[in-house]
Amino acid sequence: MLFLPAPAHPCQKSWSQRTYTRLLRLVAGDRSISNAITIPTIGTSVQRPWNQCCTAVYQSSVVGRNRNPSTGQSAMWKMPLNQRVNSHRMTTTTRGAPSARIANRQGMRDSGSAVETLTILPAVFAPEASMRVIPLFSIAVLALLVASCATAPPRPTPRIERIEFARAGTDGVHGFRTPSLAVARDGTLIAGYSALLHSENDLPNDIQVWVRSSHDDGLHWSAPQRLTHPAGGAGSSDTSLLVDRDTGRVFLFYNYGPPGIGFWNSAAGTAPTRTLHPRYLWSDDDGRTWLGPRDLLTTVKQPGWHGLFTASGNGVQLQAGPHRGRLLQPLVYRLADGRIHAANIYSDDHGKTWHVGASIGANLDESKAVQLANGEVMQNLRSDDAHVHARVVALSHDGGVHFGSPRVDKQLPDPHVNASSIRAEPQASASRAASHWLLFSNPADPAQRRNLTVRLSCDDGKTWAASRVLDPGPSMYSVMARLPDGDFGIIWEDGSGDLFYARFNLAWVARGAPCG
């Protein structure tokens, strides 16, 4: 084990300390990451938390030994292969030397690694790298890096942390799909998803709605809570979360399928055994308990419609303009000619009554709505046209009810899949540049569901200034939410029945300062 002394960090010049650099190398499978920070050793006279300026992160996937340089004590950790890798974060009390605690923060699936070396820079996270082997640095280069970091001006800190959210086979479940994600008014992170009990097929199938919550932005999650228990061949699928910021109510939309009924064989009319039923549950205590369901079939299904379903992911509440407070939830429906249309259902009275907006267009499928800084609603849609291999975008000037002509955005290749679009800074005033920042995620491939990518736009989606591949392998649906501290959470399907969660910041997407 090698430790090097380094100059004190500028924000801790007055502290009695020594800074050490620990060297590691991570050898991984398809998913690999490195986060590394200096480890300050603080004198016993210090009476303030050292980690206001510095954080120490360790990683190992097999066996590692952590030696505390100030005490000489060693601690060993072990993680078996084919499990997620642990990160070991150094913390300290207001007096004394650092101590170690273990947190499941980040890692790789089905990977093996060896403890060797990795540069650790003072107070700056090393950018995540998609690589199998992190190269070794010479001691001379390390000394230069550490010395230069001590005098470098502050810069954005790229961060990303990933965990496995749901693994196929857990509790005998065949696989998991259609995730939803939202932050309750008290900051609780809520995730809904579909548990496909016996096969990977959509409705009609034995599918349940499950939900989990987190109080630390996705680092730890509650045990799954099964909210629906359909029997006899019935199922419930395609979760979507929508939070009313005015009342605090959380809506969890899903679709109930009677035995043998799915989207493509639903009949016209509202006979309860012959069509899908859009429904929702609701929570008035930030996701701790759930009430309902309320069935919206007779409320929203129109004459001439055959199949219909609420799209998975999340809805949105309008925050500005004449329709402030309006709740929007994307919907898909099918006509007798077989063509499908996208629209929104909406409520102007906090969910007491629901109405159906106009069709955004034919051959359009699952979508997400986002309110832009100027008050317009932008709908980002999946195309069902076999000749279109990109996203489709449409704008509404009346709060998401009617839309102008849809256009194909060739900047966003898409293999006909559900995606995610959100405002990066939804509370920013229209006069601030950050009010125009959007995030978008999808498998960025025109033909295959792979290469999950997060993109950043600085101009309300006119152009996309930065992008970052989150998962280069198979991937399908994804959903994002802005976390209370300004970071972002995302859940995505990996194509094998597993769901993964990641937390990242804008600096990770932009590889530095976002939007210039």
Q: What is the pLDDT of residues 19-75, one digit of tens each?
A: 333 333 333 333 333 333 333 333 322 223 333 333 333 333 333 334 344 444 433
- 493 is an active site residue: no
Tell me the two tokens of residue 151.
């005098």
CB count within 10 Å of CB 401 equals: 18
Q: What is the pLDDT of residues 287-328, one digit of tens each?
A: 999 999 999 999 999 999 999 999 999 999 999 999 999 999
- Contact (Cβ atoms closer than 8 angstroms) between residue 134 and residue 118: yes
| Tokens 């549950």, residue located | 281
- How many secondary structure helices (H) and strands (E) does the chain include? 3, 35
For residues 121 and 424, give the distance between their C-alpha atoms in angstroms, rounded to a whole number: 28
Q: Output the CA angle 345-348-350, nearest 5 degrees.
A: 95
What 3-state class would DSSP assign to 512? coil
> Measuring CA to CA, how many Å separate 106 from each of 123, 130, 154?
19, 14, 25
N-term to C-term CA, the chain: 40
What 3-state class would DSSP assign to 219? coil
- Contact (Cβ atoms closer than 8 angstroms) between residue 477 and residue 445: no
Question: Could you tell me the pLDDT band of residue 227, with boundaries at 50, 70 and 90?
Answer: very high
- 202 is an active site residue: yes
Q: Indicate which residue of 366, 409, 425, 460 is catalytic.
A: 366
For residues 408 and 386, give the distance between their C-alpha atoms in angstroms, rounded to a whole number: 13
What is the average pLDDT across 109-131? 30
Question: Could you tell me the pLDDT band of residue 516, with boundaries at 50, 70 and 90?
Answer: confident
Is the model more confident about 52 or about 131? 52
Contact residues for 233 (Cβ-Cβ < 8 A; gap 6+)? 204, 206, 259, 260
In percent, the amount of the chain with pLDDT more than 90 equals 68
Helix (H) or strand (E) holding 510: helix 506-510
Question: Could you tell me the pLDDT band of residue 126, with boundaries at 50, 70 and 90?
Answer: very low
Q: Tell whether the model's pLDDT for residue 117 goes beyond 70.
A: no
Residue type, 111: S
Q: Tell whether the model's pLDDT for residue 357 goes beyond 80.
A: yes
Q: Whole-structure pTM over 0.75, yes or no?
A: no
pLDDT at 34: 35
pLDDT at 59: 34
Mean of the per-residue pLDDT values of the chain = 78
Contact residues for 275 (Cβ-Cβ < 8 A; gap 6+)? 258, 261, 266, 267, 268, 269, 297, 301, 306, 307, 308
What is the average pLDDT across 109-121? 30
Q: Output the CA angle 218-221-225, nearest 5 degrees.
A: 135
Q: Tell whether the model's pLDDT for residue 231 goes beyond 60.
A: yes
Q: Indicate which residue of 217, 477, 487, 498 is catalytic.
A: 477
Question: Could you tell me the pLDDT band of residue 498, with boundaries at 50, 70 and 90?
Answer: very high
Q: Tell whether the model's pLDDT for residue 487 goes beyond 70.
A: yes
Is the model more confident about 147 or about 237? 237
Helix (H) or strand (E) holding 147: helix 139-151
Tell me the two tokens of residue 249.
């109510």
Look up residue 434 and give its DSSP letter.
G
Question: Could you tell me the pLDDT band of residue 87, with boundaries at 50, 70 and 90?
Answer: very low
- Contact (Cβ atoms closer than 8 angstroms) between residue 263 and residue 307: yes
For residues 372 and 413, give the distance between their C-alpha atoms in angstroms, rounded to a whole number: 22
What is the average pLDDT across 145-160? 59
- 217 is an active site residue: no
Radius of gyration of the chain measured on its C-alpha atoms: 24
pLDDT at 154: 57
| Tokens 């399907």, residue located | 493
pLDDT at 157: 87
- The pairing of beta strand 313-314 with beta strand 235-243: parallel
Is the model more confident about 51 or about 180? 180
The verdict on whether omega for the bond into residue 204 sits within 30 degrees of 0, i.e. cis, is yes
Residues in the chain: 516
For residues 238 and 160, give the distance between their C-alpha atoms in angstroms, rounded to a whole number: 27
List the single range of 119-128, 173-182, 390-399 with lowest mean pLDDT. 119-128
Q: What is the pLDDT of residues 427-457, one digit of tens each?
A: 999 999 999 999 999 999 999 999 999 999 9
Q: Indicate which residue of 128, 202, 409, 471 is catalytic.
A: 202
pLDDT at 156: 73
Helix (H) or strand (E) holding 298: helix 297-300
Q: What are the structural domains, with CATH classification, of the chain? A: 3-155 (no CATH), 162-170+242-510 (2.120.10.10)
What 3-state class would DSSP assign to 51? helix
Is the model more confident about 24 or about 285? 285
Contact residues for 348 (Cβ-Cβ < 8 A; gap 6+)? 323, 325, 326, 327
- Contact (Cβ atoms closer than 8 angstroms) between residue 377 and residue 328: yes
